[in-house]
Amino acid sequence: MGKMEKINDEMMENVAGGTLSQEEALGRALAYANLRRDQVDFVKHVELDYEHGRKVYEVKFYQGGMEYDFDVDAENGNILKFEKDYD
């Protein structure tokens, strides 16, 4: 069990310190959705994660009864995933 904890600790260390800030990641997602911050009803989260060997911001917000869900590359700001669905 100690080995698994070590792997998890190493993974968490790698997550810290993406190139983009949370605000920049949210800004990229909003621009992709063609929305401004003042048009969004509620930002659920902007969280830095480590997926498939890269740092990724998971961004989720709501606007006009729609849920927007993004993965934004934390290093270069590219949109890796975009989903839009009724809330």
pLDDT tens readout for residues 4-39: 333 333 344 445 555 899 999 999 999 999 999 999
Q: Which domain holds residue 59?
A: 2-86
Give, in order, the Cα–Cα distances in Å from 45 to each of 5, 53, 73. 26, 21, 15
The pLDDT value recorded for residue 87 is 80
- Classify residue 43 by burial, with Cβ atoms within 10 Å: 0-12, 13-18, 19+: middle
DSSP 6-56: HHHHHHHHHHS--SS-HHHHHHHHHHHTT--GGG-SEEEEEEEEEETTEEE
pTM as predicted: 0.78
Q: What is the CATH number of the domain that holds 33?
A: 3.10.450.40
Q: What is the domain count for the chain? A: 1
Segment 37-81, tens digit of pLDDT: 999 999 999 999 998 889 999 999 999 999 999 999 999 999 999
Tokens standing for 64?
């006009």
